[in-house]
Structures are given as structure tokens and as C-alpha cells.
Structure 1
Amino acid sequence: MQDSQPTQDASIAATLYWDPDRGLSVGRTTVRVRYAETDRMGITYNAHYLTWFEIGRTEFMRSAGFPYREVEEKGYNLPLVGAEFRLPASVGYDDVLFIETWVERVRTRMVTFAYRVLHDGRVAASGTTTHACVRASDGRSGNLPDWLQKKLRQLTA
């Protein structure tokens, strides 16, 4: 018998949809809180939200047609240069979460992604991560390549 509940593994892919209220494309990824992600009180330890943001961002990019691996293969990296998040509600072991991810801002050299982590219809976390463009060949910062800027901007218009 198959478990009908979503699981957290590599086979999970984001669904990508247009949100008319926000006027942009949003990725939605499902994860389940693992025991190892909780603290002694049974509450998710705060650093794991950044991991879930990464899962959301990675699956969002993949479902939008430009997986992060492709960005790297074309000679670019997008290292994290800033992050902030709020945790208005706690989540615990075995809770099913929905990570919403979207492009908040595209600049010449950076991109900012925004996130909401939902549980039982409420926002458990929200935040942003900002990523700079770095050329893999020499490790120096540079402009986002035109093809990547175009793809990112298409998700916000």
C-alpha cells in the first residue's frame, strides 16, 4: 500500500503556477518535518528554515525550466549573500509543510527570492534570500548573464 502523504525526498518537485494576486509565478514544494530537524522541545530548529528555503528555491528554478545545475554548468554560481526570516508559528515532527517560492527582485548582479512556509493554512515562516552572481572560472562577482536575467524577470511579469 502506498503512503498517500507527501514525503521529503529527491522525487518531490515544485508545482509552478501564476498567482494573479501577486502578479508573478510561484513555486510550491512539499516537505515533511523530519525528527532530526526538531529540538528537544519537539519544535523545528530555526536553521532548518534556510534549508527549506533552499529546497523551495532549487525546485522552483527546476520547475521554471532552468535548474541550478544548468546555471553552474554554464559557468555561474549564485552564492547566498543575505538572508532574513520570521517565524510567526512553530512546526514540529511529521508536520507537512508547503514552501512557496518566488522571485522578489532581479538586479544586474543579484537576485532576491522570497518564501512562505505554510502549515495547516497558516504562515509558519516567511523570508528572503539574496544571491550574488559569481563567475565560476575566477570566483569574481559579475552581472547575471542575460539569459538568466530574462528567465528570472519572466517569472515576475
Structure 2
Amino acid sequence: MITTTVVPVRYAETDQMGVVYHANYLVWCEIGRTALIEELGFRYADMEKRGVMSPVTSLQMNYKYPAKYGESVTIHTWIESYNGFRIKYGYEILNSEEKPCLNGTSEHVLVNAETFKPIKIKKNFPEWHEAYEKHKKSTDEPHTK
């Protein structure tokens, strides 16, 4: 399952040359990740109401081609891997000409919001566990769309 989200490049996201500042790609990845989770039928906000957060534990971003002001970017997001504890999301961001601007991954775990101790997804969110198991990328799928 790959979720597709289109976002306009806003002027505030660019430098004086009209090129998107690199940190904004992380925001777009978050937009894609949230859209994927919602497409699966869940919401981060509901998880947080139960006292659970999902911090980033690792990022790998490869910048390929600049996105520019005045165009839109397309964010493709998928579950790269999942082992019942860690979730790795995959991303590909394309510009309006479908040139790849970025590909990468972010890894997350669930933690208790008060103690920051990791918790098991399967035990605490069995419906998320089932959805992630069903939709994670199989080993024979390509890494991008």
C-alpha cells in the first residue's frame, strides 16, 4: 500500500532562490506519514489521548533534485518494514515534473508519554499491529513506487 499526497510548495518553505529548504522535506514526510495512518483508519491524536507517543528514532534522507516555489510536490509513503515494535516508513517526493526530489525512511517506536519507556504495538494497539502487518512492504516489492 502506497499513500499519495500532493502539497503545494509555499513561498515560506523556500530560500531566496525559490528552492525548498531541506528541513521542509521532513515536514512533508510527516504529512505523508499522517495520511498513510489515516488511510489505514487510525489517527495519531487518538494514540496520544491514550498517553502514547511515536518519536523518530532514525532518519535517512537522500536529496536528489530541488523542489521549487510555484510547483506542487507529490509524496508517496509506505510501510517499509515493521517488526511489532519498530516501524520504518518509506518516502519518495517528486516535483511537478515527476523528478525525484527525495527518497528516504524514518524509523519510529511507541513510548509511554510519561516515562518515555517503549511499549509493544501488538499488545497495546492490536488493530494497528494487524494493519501494519498486512500493509508492510514485502521483500519482493521495489523500494519506491
| TM-score scaled by length of structure 2 | 0.85
User: Cα deviations across residues 121-145 of structure 1 (Å, max 9, x unaligned)?
Assistant: 2211111000111023532112123
Deviates more, 1:135-144 or 1:124-133: 135-144
Matched, 1:103 2:79: yes
Matched, 1:143 2:120: yes
Pairwise CA RMSD: 1.4
Structure 2 runs not aligned, ≥5 long: 139-145
CA distance in 2, matches of 1:147, 1:72: 16
* Residue 142 (structure 2) aligns with: none
Give the SS at the match of 1:53.
Answer: helix
CA distance in 1, matches of 2:130, 2:114: 22
Q: Which has the higher contact order (CA 8 A, sep 6+)?
A: 2
Give the SS at the match of 1:153.
Answer: helix
Amino acid at match of 2:68: G
CA distance in 2, matches of 1:70, 1:103: 20
Find runs of 4+ consecutive structure 1 residues off by over 6 angstroms. none
Give the SS at the match of 2:34.
Answer: helix
CA distance in 2, matches of 1:138, 1:47: 29
Residue identity (%):
29
Shift of 1:78: 0.8
User: Cα deviations across residues 64-102 of structure 1 (Å, max 9, x unaligned)?
Assistant: 101111222333211111111111111111211110000
User: Cα deviations across residues 34-84 of structure 1 (Å, max 9, x unaligned)?
Assistant: 101001221100000000000000111112101111222333211111111
CA distance in 2, matches of 1:94, 1:152: 35
Alignment partner of 2:61 out of 85, 93, 109: 85
Greater fraction helix: 2
Give the SS at the match of 1:60.
Answer: helix
Structure 1 runs not aligned, ≥5 long: 1-24
Give the SS at the match of 1:65.
Answer: coil
Matched, 1:26 2:7: no
* Residue 155 (structure 1) aligns with: 135
Question: 1:7-86 alignment to 2 at 5 Å?
Answer: 25-86=1-62
